Chain A
Amino acid sequence: MAGAAGPGRVPGAAGGDGDDSLYPIAVLIDELRNEDVQLRLNSIKKLSTIALALGVERTRTELLPFLTDTIYDEDEVLLALAEQLGNFTVLVGGPDFAHCLLPPLESLATVEETVVRDKAVESLRQISQEHTPVALEAHFVPLVKRLASGDWFTSRTSACGLFSVCYPRASSTVKAEIRQHFCSLCSDDTPMVRRAAASKLGEFAKVLELESVKNEIVPLFTNLASDEQDSVRLLAVEACVSIAQLLSQNDLETLVMPTLRQAAEDKSWRVRYMVADKFSELQKAVGPEITQNDLVPAFQNLLKDCEAEVRAAAAHKVKELCENLPVDGRETIIMNHILPFVKELVSDSNQHVKSALASVIMGLSTILGKENTIEHLLPLFLAQLKDECPEVRLNIISNLDCVNEVIGIRQLSQSLLPAIVELAEDAKWRVRLAIIEYMPLLAGQLGVEFFDEKLNSLCMAWLVDHVYAIREAATNNLMKLVEKFGADWAQNTIVPKVLGMANDPNYLHRMTTLFCINALSEACGQEITTKQMLPIVLKMAGDQVANVRFNVAKSLQKIGPILDSSALHVEVKPVLQKLGQDEDMDVKYFAQEAINVLALA
């Protein structure tokens, strides 16, 4: 089949009596069933072209029935089909015929693959908007009911996502039925369906009348929140956010808060984790008063939870929680009710908890101001900078900018330096890599003097690290430093050291010189490049190691555009020509490539 589509076979305008514009479409239709999944996928993605050629009538009567039964295909084909059908209304004749798209999507909504089902539901939701109110009740609502009472739980889970789109436009009797269906799915036998219902509960609540929310949704929510399966209960926490936004403070207190309090103390750590994870959303949803009375104590408990996963999730939220407290009285709450618990976490037994805290704790300084930071937070930062776990130290160092704004970095520099040095020499190369990435940031905040004095030697040491990834990162780091501190600084501090390595007995180090030159030449500008770097590069063309020589060719190609044309022709060209005659194949190749790119032939 694929062969027939080749350009050679496309019939010309002259000749047969067939309509040649049909040919590509014919190929597309045939390839819907090609053995090659890529070709099938390709055809499905051009389904609109096929439909356009067939016209609305044949699309409805022939193409869609065919597609309705084509659910045996690979997931990716089904996924593409589900997506296409969402935009098909025009191709079947507009809104009056939108319901023709329901059968294929209905069968896609029952497949076992979640991504396909979700996409089918998404397309159904899209199409529901294009139904007239009459068609919605005549076709779409019955489909939702069919799915909701289907034999297999795949169809019932899909139904859960469709209630909220048809509800607002349905008549009041139908509305009652829809609510009834949703209600029964909330107590379905299979946990899969209850989970789907729980995850759509919030969305459904938003389109309901307030009375129904109070009388029907809240009891469902309460039930789901005390489901026997913790995988269901934890989803109720999310629904809690949406429901809370709909209710008045009074209703909230009586209808939702008992459940939320219970969730925060659930027997299952996964549910408590969910509360911790959704804490900022919950906080916004319930408002300042309940936050202060209920959520802050709950948060304290989460911070000292017996499960490390929960403590880590809560630790992540410390900054956001504090930020979102009402400015009035914020400082007092934080100082008296949050900080004491945060202090405990600094010496937590679990490194993930400490590192979660380290990633946000610096953010508290902007909230608490200079004095509190120096008195209360600084000791914590310093303790974390000395933590045994590198990730904790890294997280502190990576967030230094927050503190810098409030108290200036000098306060920290005495402790900072040993921490940086230790990370720079860590036995794990990934840790070294991580600290290198913060060097430009640190350099910017600590200033050039401090840098030259304390950190420069580290940056140079990384250039001869035994791990390539570190040498590579060190090279990029130099480039960023030069961008920050300027070409003069580079000429005085970095360039001599880099060029010195050209004489190193280790060829890997000699190559590092070349890589550095590649990275630095642009930032350093024409003069330094021509006068200081170029001679070294040219000298290295005689290196005994072929890898060095072909990297010379690559470097020349790289720095060529920065050089003036006389240097290029007088100095670079002969060297490249010589390398072009090299005995090594790779050297010849890269020399030739450089000659071509620099137009020196």
Chain B
Amino acid sequence: MAGAGGGGGVGGGPAPMGGSDLQWCFSQVKGAIDEDVAEADIISTVEFNYSGDLLATGDKGGRVVIFQKEQENKSRPHSRGEYNVYSTFQSHEPEFDYLKSLEIEEKINKIRWLPQQNAAHFLLSTNDKTIKLWKISERDKRAEGYNLKDEDGRLRDPFRITALRVPILKPMDLMVEASPRRIFANAHTYHINSISVNSDHETYLSADDLRVNLWHLEITDRSFNIVDIKPVNMEELTEVITAAEFHPHQCNVFVYSSSKGTIRLCDMRSSALCDRHSKFFEEPEDPSSRSFFSEIISSISDVKFSHSGRYMMTRDYLSVKVWDLNMETRPVETYQVHEYLRSKLCSLYENDCIFDKFECCWNGSDGALMTGSYNNFFRMFDRSTRRDVTLEASRESSKPRAILKPRKVCTGGKRRKDEISVDSLDFNKKILHTAWHPLQNIIAVAATNNLYIFQDKVN
């Protein structure tokens, strides 16, 4: 591995992630191999549950697929906890709003797991308008024995019932059921971009372009509006809400990011309506780099609190920033994701790529970050060493336990071996959604209709 590429700079050598010299190897790929991708199969969200044993994906066809991590198997030492399909269900269907003459897509925008409360698992899934609470439960027993029919299902003569039979439970093959438990509808005029479960375990928020609502998980007919940035006159609209999230531990704190590149932190203790933020995170703009695209590329596409709750990470078009909640004036860390695209903004604007919403995630110990890029590349940043790496999710390297080679994009000048030129990047292959196992070095990367799972190399 050490052989790959020179050190330093963008896309530098093999990066030690999470403290030790960590190398990533291919584990699994899910989804069809065809070049022909059906729109409905495109993965639109990826999320691990709190233990990391379950991994949920949502797609543009409104389906949710849940993968379960297999128990590690002594007899097959090399199969380390692979993820296999546990349950698949249709979460949302396409709908039509007759009042507004609008089609409501079935695309799953976000999935959030609830902390586990009993043997069953629960998750929230949302499309543009409606949030649903799903229960995923197992059944391994079946009742047997009827009074009015015999074992083969033939009806018995009702005249000949001489004794009552109480059904007996017999073991059966494990069956996983997904059932809709609650439907939270009719509270959003605009498109829902985020949902986030509160640490009090009884409420969650949902955010659309202009409003944030607070729900009780058990009440579907009522939600409280906690942020409303809709101006009286819509022509005065200058910014929209792009993402929102609850603090992982403080039940009263949440943040929301805006298209202007700012983040507001609100304290629900101070008032019922959180229109007035208690903290405002904004980095002063560098006048020298100002351009026509400045405002577009500064729009924040995702915001995530660190597990510790001390930091938050934001993703804009070209960078990832880490903010200390105690410092509002500038981020404590800034990582360039694909700086080489700065010269290409014009064509990215023309093909609409500049509006792509990349998400970002923390690793379990908050020591490393991951986010996506184009050409099926994704990036990881180690916070302590400040080293970064570009990896590729591709079929070519999808041999079992094959170690992922760091990729490098060359920016002008002479292209070295193993480097790829900016001009040959495929902008249709974008990695928008990634997830990191909360406890282990296992990552899930959604590349169009394929879900790649990578693990760290064990010796």
Contacts and interface: CB of A to CB of B under 8 A. Distances in A.
Chain A partners chain B: yes
A352 B421 CA distance: 63
Contacts of B157: 16, 18
Interface in A303-329: 306-309
A349 B115 CA distance: 41
Contacts of B218: 114
Given A29-B166, A58-B166, A191-B251, A111 B272 contact: no
B168 A154 contact: no
Contacts of A9: 158
Given A4-B148, A16-B157, A30-B146, A230 B252 contact: yes
Contact of A152 (B119, B139, B199): B119
Interface in A279-313: 306-309
B295 interface: no
Interface in A211-231: 228-231
A154 B167 CA distance: 28
B162 interface: yes
A19 B162 contact: yes
B200 A110 contact: no
A192 B201 contact: yes
B160 A62 contact: no
B100 interface: no
B159 A15 contact: yes
Contacts of A154: 117-118
Contacts of B177: 72
A535 B218 CA distance: 59
Nearest to B142: A33
B117 A269 contact: no
Interface in A1-37: 1, 4, 9-11, 15-20, 22-23, 25-27, 29-30, 32-33
Contacts of A15: 159
Nearest to A157: B117
A396 to B, nearest CB: 25
B117 A29 contact: no
Given A191-B201, A268-B252, A153 B117 contact: yes
Contact of B158 (A11, A72, A111, A269): A11
B164 interface: yes
A269 to B, nearest CB: 6
Nearest to A62: B166
A329 to B, nearest CB: 36
Contacts of A153: 117, 201
A25 B143 contact: no
Contact of A269 (B159, B160, B250, B272): B272
A170 interface: no
A270 interface: yes
B116 A16 contact: no
A30 B200 contact: no
Contacts of A16: 157, 159-160
Contacts of A72: 137, 139, 177
B162 A17 contact: yes
Interface in B351-367: none
Interface string B243-287: 000000111100000000000000011111000000000000000
Given A9-B158, A29-B147, A306-B271, A22 B120 contact: no
B83 interface: no
B143 A4 contact: no
A94 to B, nearest CB: 21
B169 A152 contact: no
A110 B269 contact: no
Given A32-B167, A269-B269, A19 B200 contact: no
B130 to A, nearest CB: 21
B171 to A, nearest CB: 11
A53 B164 contact: yes
Chain B CB within 10 Å — which of A16, A114, A229 has the most? A229
A231 B216 CA distance: 12
A191 B218 CA distance: 16
A66 B141 CA distance: 11
Interface in A48-76: 53-54, 58, 62-63, 65-66, 69-70, 72
Interface string B114-143: 011111101000000000000101010101
B386 interface: no
A66 B116 contact: no
Contact of B167 (A22, A66, A306): A66
Nearest to A64: B166
Contacts of B116: 152
B202 interface: yes
B121 to A, nearest CB: 10
B118 A63 contact: no
B223 to A, nearest CB: 16
B1 interface: no
A4 B155 contact: yes
Nearest to A150: B118
B163 interface: yes
A190 interface: yes
A267 interface: yes
Given A33-B143, A154-B117, A190 B148 contact: no
Contact of A267 (B161, B168, B249, B269): B269
Contacts of B169: 65-66, 69
Given A4-B158, A33-B143, A307-B272, A66 B168 contact: yes
A33 B271 contact: no
B230 interface: no
A307 B120 CA distance: 39
A206 B29 CA distance: 60
A112 interface: yes
B165 interface: yes
A54 B135 contact: no
A152 B158 contact: no
Given A69-B169, A153-B117, A268-B252, A18 B200 contact: no
B270 A269 contact: yes
B122 A112 contact: yes
B164 A54 contact: yes
B162 A29 contact: no
Nearest to A268: B269
Nearest to A11: B159
Given A27-B148, A268-B269, A63 B143 contact: no
Contact of A231 (B117, B167, B251, B272): B251
A230 B251 contact: yes
Nearest to B251: A229
B269 A230 contact: yes
A19 B162 CA distance: 6
B200 A191 contact: yes
Contacts of B120: 112
> Which of B146, B157, B161, B251 has the most A CB atoms < 10 Å from its CB?
B161
Given A69-B169, A230-B269, A308-B272, A23 B161 contact: yes
A309 B160 CA distance: 69
A22 B147 CA distance: 10
Contacts of A62: 166, 168
Contacts of A191: 199-202, 251
B160 A17 contact: yes
A198 to B, nearest CB: 13
A155 B122 CA distance: 17
A4 B269 CA distance: 60
24 contacts: A4-B148, A10-B158, A15-B159, A23-B161, A29-B147, A29-B167, A53-B164, A54-B166, A58-B166, A65-B169, A69-B169, A70-B143, A112-B117, A112-B120, A112-B135, A155-B118, A191-B202, A195-B202, A229-B199, A230-B251, A267-B270, A269-B272, A270-B268, A309-B272
Given A53-B164, A230-B269, A269-B269, 6 more contacts: A16-B159, A30-B147, A72-B177, A112-B135, A152-B118, A307-B272
Interface of B: 115-120, 122, 135, 137, 139, 141, 143, 146-149, 155, 157-169, 177, 199-202, 218, 249-252, 268-272
Closest 7 A-B residue pairs measured CB to CB?
Answer: A16-B159, A26-B147, A268-B269, A62-B166, A152-B118, A154-B118, A18-B161
